[in-house]
Amino acid sequence: MTMTGAAELGTIALDGARKTRGNQTRTRIRVLMLFIAAALVLIVGKLVTLGGTDTTANIEGRALDEITATRPAILDRNGIEMAVDIRVPSLYAEPNRMVDKPGAIAAILSVLPDLDENVLRERLNRDKGFVWIDRELTPAQKDDILRLGIPGLDFVTESRRFYPGGTEASHIMGMVNIDNKGTAGIEARLDRDNVALLQDLGFARDRELSPVSLSIDMRVQHALRDQLEDALSRYQAVSAAGVIIDVHTAEILAMVSLPDFDPNAPTSFSEDWLDKKNQRFNRITLGRYELGSTFKTITFAAALDSGAVKLTDSFDARFGIRFGKYLIDDFHGKHRVLQVPEIYKYSSNVGTIKMMQTLGSENYRAFLTRMGFDDPLKVELPETIVSVIPEKFSEVGAATASFGHGLSVTPLHMAQAVAALVNGGILKPATLYPRTSAEADAIGTRVVSQETSARMRYLLRLNALEGSGTHANKLADGYRVGGKTGTAEKVENGQYVADRNLNVFASAFPVDDPHYAMVILVDEPKPENQQSGVTAGWNAGEVTGRVIARVAPMLGIRPDFAATVDAALVPPELGRPVVTTDKDSTF
C-alpha cells in the first residue's frame, strides 16, 4: 500500500497491489535508462577525445614517416647495385624528460667526441620536446649510447642513400638531398615518376620498394670511365666524355662525362675544375657542341638515301669553294676529283659541300629534322638541352653545316643518329631503362632505307680501315670498328680558336652486324708524344679503340680477323674496294 502526496489533504488514494507494482517497475526502467544513457555519453565523449589526439609522431614539424621514407634500390642491367638505402640510427633528445643534463652531456661526449660541447649544451637547455643530437650514427655508437642508459635520449632510424660505385655513374644517378628527395639525375626522375607519390601515399614508408633496373652495364660503365680518365692524363685534355648505346634497342649501356662528382657527397658537384666553375655537368646530354666532321656521316646518309648521289659518283675537289669573302677548302686536301667513298675517307669539305648541294639545302635541313636533331632528348634525365640548328639554312650556312659547323647538338643526339644509320635505318630514342628490340621498333621511325644503312656501314668501316679511324681500328683489331672522326675548332667569344679543338669520334661496332654505337669526346687534347698528332684520330679515335678492346669481350662480341668480313661490306655497285695508293689519313 502506498499513499500519495494527496494524503496530507485528507484524501486518501488507495492503489491496488497490481497498480503499485506497475508504477515500481516503470520507475526502475527509467533509472536504468538513465544509467545506460550516462554510460553512452561517457563512451562517446571518450571516442571524441581519442579521435582528436594526433597519433602521428612528429619531429620538428615533420612526420616521423617522412624521415624514414625509403627509396627503391637502383640496379644495373646485370643486377649490380648502383644505389641502395642504408638504414642508420639518428640520436635525438627530449630535454623536458631529462634529469641530469650536465651528466648527460659528459656521457654523450664520451661516446661522440666530435660533437661541440657548447652547441650540445645550448640544445639540451632549450625547453623543447625534441632536439637532434647527432644524425646518421654507426650501429656501434648506437649500442654505446644505449649502454649509457640516459633517460630522455632515443633513436630514430633514418634512410640514407648510398652509391656503392661512388663517382662511377655519377651523372646517371644524380643525387638526393638530406630529406631523401631526388634533386638530379635518375633520382630526380624517379621522384617525378612515382616515388614521391608513393611516399605521399605512405607506401614507401619504412618498407622496401621493389628495385628499379637501368639499362646501364656497370662493367662497361667502369671501363669507359677508366679509359676516359686515362685520356685526360694521356692527352692532358680539359674534359672527356663518352656514351655507348645499343643500336637495336637504343638502351644506354654507359655514359660518362669527366670531370664528374661523387653522389655520396653532393657538394663535390660544385667544386672547381682547373680553376673554372660549373664544369661538372653531364656533357653527353647537357653539353651542346659543333661536332665537326662526324656530321659528314649524316650528310652522306642524307645524300645517298635521297638517291641524288650514288657511291659511284665523283665530285671535283680540286679547288676550294668561295662564298662571298669566305673560302672553304680541305684540310690536307687531295685537290683532285674524288669518288664518294674517297670524299668520306679523306674527309673532304669541298666534296661534302658539293654532295649536299646536289641534294639541296632544304632537303638537307629536312633530313636533320628527320634524324631527330631538332627533337628534345627523350632520355630519362632532367639534365637535357635542345639543339641549336638554324630554322632555315643560308647558302653558306648549309655548306658549313654539311661538315658540322654552325649547328650544335648533344653527343647523345649524335649517338642516336649513328645507331639509326647502322641498325638498318630506324631511329629510336635513347633510354636509360631496359627495353627489348621489339619495344624499341614499335616507337622507332624509319629514317633511311636498309640499303642506305648498308652503305653507311661500308663507309664507316672504310674510314676505319683506310681513313682517319685507323688508330681506333688498330687498337680494337678483330672487333670490326667503323667510325668517323671530327675535329672542331672551339668557339670562344664568338670566334673560332684554331689551337683549341674539340675532338670527336662517332663509331659503331662490330660494323658487319652492328650492336653498339659510341660517341667519344676529348676536349682540347695535346699530342701524347712528339710523333703523335692532335686530330681526333689520335685521341678520340684511340680512346674508342681501347674502350672497344676492353668492353667487346664482356659484351660477347666474337673477334673475327677474316678479310672476307670487310669485303662483304662493299656494296654491289662498287664491286671492289676503292683502290688507293696514298694512305695518309686526314681528320
Partner 1 sequence: MIRVLNIVLLVACGVGLIGVYALKYQSEGVASRRLELQTQIADQQDQLSVMRAEWAYVTQPGHIAPIVRRHAESLDLAQIRADQFISVDALPMRPAAMDPDALTALLESLDAGIDPIAALIEAN
When the beta carbons of 243 and 291 are compared against partner 1, the nearer one is: 243
Stretch that binds partner 1, among 125-133, 163-171, 189-197, 334-342 (CB under 8 A): 163-171
For partner 1, the closer of residues 222 and 428 by Cβ is 222
What's the CA gap between 191 and 176, in Å, rounded? 10
Burial letters 175-184, b for 16+ CB under 10 A, else e: bbeeebbbeb
Under the binding rule (CB under 8 A), the answer on residue 168 touching partner 1 is: yes
Looking at beta carbons only, is 81 or 489 nearer to partner 1?
Answer: 81
Are 377 and 384 a contacting pair, CB within 8 Å? yes
Q: Which is nearer to partner 1, 168 or 466 (CB)?
A: 168
Residue 139 engages partner 1 in binding (rule: CB under 8 A) = yes
Q: Give the binding range for partner 1 (CB under 8 A) out of 276-284, 321-329, 335-343, 553-561.
A: 553-561
Work out how close the CB of 325 gets to partner 1 at its nearest, in angstroms, rounded to a whole number.
51
Residue among 28, 87, 310, 526 that touches partner 1 (CB under 8 A): 87
- Does 549 help bind partner 1 (rule: CB under 8 A)? yes
| Residue 348 annotated among the catalytic residues of the structure | no
Decide: is 380 part of the binding site for partner 1 (CB under 8 A).
Answer: no
Amino acid at 350: V
Tell me the three cell numbers of residue 191: 621522384
Which of residues 244 and 309 has its CB atom nearest to partner 1 in the complex?
244
Assign 163 to helix, strand or coil. coil
At its nearest, how many Å lie between partner 1 and the CB of residue 162?
Answer: 5
Residue choice 123, 219, 334, 515 for contact with partner 1 (CB under 8 A):
219
| Composition of the chain by helix, strand, coil, percent to 5 | 40, 20, 40
Contact flag: residue 211 with partner 1 (CB under 8 A): no
Does 550 bind partner 1 (CB under 8 A)? Our answer is yes
| Count of residues that interact with partner 1, criterion CB under 8 A | 34
45, 151, 164, 390: which one contacts partner 1 (CB under 8 A)? 164
Q: Distance between CA atoms of 69 and 85, rounded to whole angstroms?
A: 10
Q: Rounded to an integer, what distance in angstroms lies between the CA atom of residue 109 and that of residue 470?
A: 65
The residue among 68 and 361 lying less far from partner 1, judged by its C-beta, is 68
- Confirm or reject binding of residue 203 to partner 1 (CB under 8 A): no
Instruction: Pick the closer one to partner 1 by CB: 59 or 84.
Output: 84
Interaction residues for partner 1, span 557-576 (CB under 8 A): 558-559, 561
Choice between 328 and 543, CB closer to partner 1: 543
Query: Out of 4, 25, 125, 157, which residue is the one contacting partner 1 (CB under 8 A)?
Result: 157
CA separation for the pair 554, 539 (Å, rounded): 23
Q: Pick from 481, 528, 530, 531: which is nearest to 505 by CA? A: 481
Q: Which member of 90, 293, 348, 585 is catalytic?
A: 293
Strand 321-323 with 337-339, pairing: unpaired
Torsion angle of the four alpha carbons 557, 562, 563, 568, in this order, in degrees rounded to the nearest 10: -60
Candidate segments 49-57, 174-182, 381-389, 470-478, binder of partner 1 by CB under 8 A: 470-478
**Span near partner 1 by CB under 8 A; candidates 2-10, 17-25, 159-167, 293-301:** 159-167
Q: Contact between 143 and partner 1 (CB under 8 A)?
A: no
Q: Which of 67, 88, 204, 255 binds partner 1 (CB under 8 A)?
A: 88
Count of residues for the chain?
587
For 217, the 3-state DSSP assignment is coil
Tell me the window of 187-195, 217-225, 397-405, 443-451 that interacts with partner 1 (CB under 8 A).
Answer: 217-225
| Cell numbers 634524324: residue | 371
Pick the binder of partner 1 from 59, 63, 64, 80 (CB under 8 A). 80
Does 205 contact partner 1 by CB under 8 A? no
**Using omega within 30 degrees of 0 as the cis cutoff, is the peptide bond preceding 259 cis?**
yes
Residue with cell 654532295: 355
Q: Which of 69, 72, 77, 85 binds partner 1 (CB under 8 A)?
A: 85
Minimum CB separation from partner 1 for residue 165, in Å?
5
Three cell numbers, residue 318: 680540286
Check binding of 165 to partner 1 (CB under 8 A). yes
CB burial of residue 568 (10 Å; 0-12, 13-18, 19+): exposed
| Calpha distance 322→531 (Å, rounded) | 34
The reply to whether 291 sits near partner 1 by the rule CB under 8 A is no
Which listed range, 14-22, 48-56, 474-482, 517-525, lies at the site for partner 1 (CB under 8 A)?
A: 474-482
Q: Using a CB cutoff of 8 Å and minimum separation of 24, what contacts does 166-170 make?
A: 166/262, 166/263, 166/264, 167/225, 167/260, 167/261, 167/262, 167/263, 168/218, 168/221, 168/222, 168/225, 169/82, 169/216, 169/218, 169/221, 169/255, 170/260, 170/261, 170/262, 170/263
The answer to whether 486 and 536 are in contact (CB under 8 A) is yes
Q: Does 86 bind partner 1 (CB under 8 A)?
A: yes
- C-alpha cell recorded at residue 415: 649517338
What is d(CA 529, CA 524) in angstroms, rounded to the nearest whole number?
15
Which lies closer to partner 1 via its Cβ, residue 222 or residue 455? 222
- Give the closest residue to 520 by CA, choosing from 481, 494, 556: 481
- Asked if 448 and 371 touch (Cβ cutoff 8 Å), the reply is no
Contact criterion met (CB below 8 Å) for 352 and 403: yes
Binding of residue 543 to partner 1 (CB under 8 A): no
Cβ proximity to partner 1, 220 vs 536, nearer residue: 220
Interacting residue ranges for partner 1, rule: CB under 8 A: 80-81, 84-89, 139, 157, 162, 164-168, 218-219, 221-223, 225-226, 476-479, 549-550, 552-553, 558-559, 561
Catalytic residues: 293
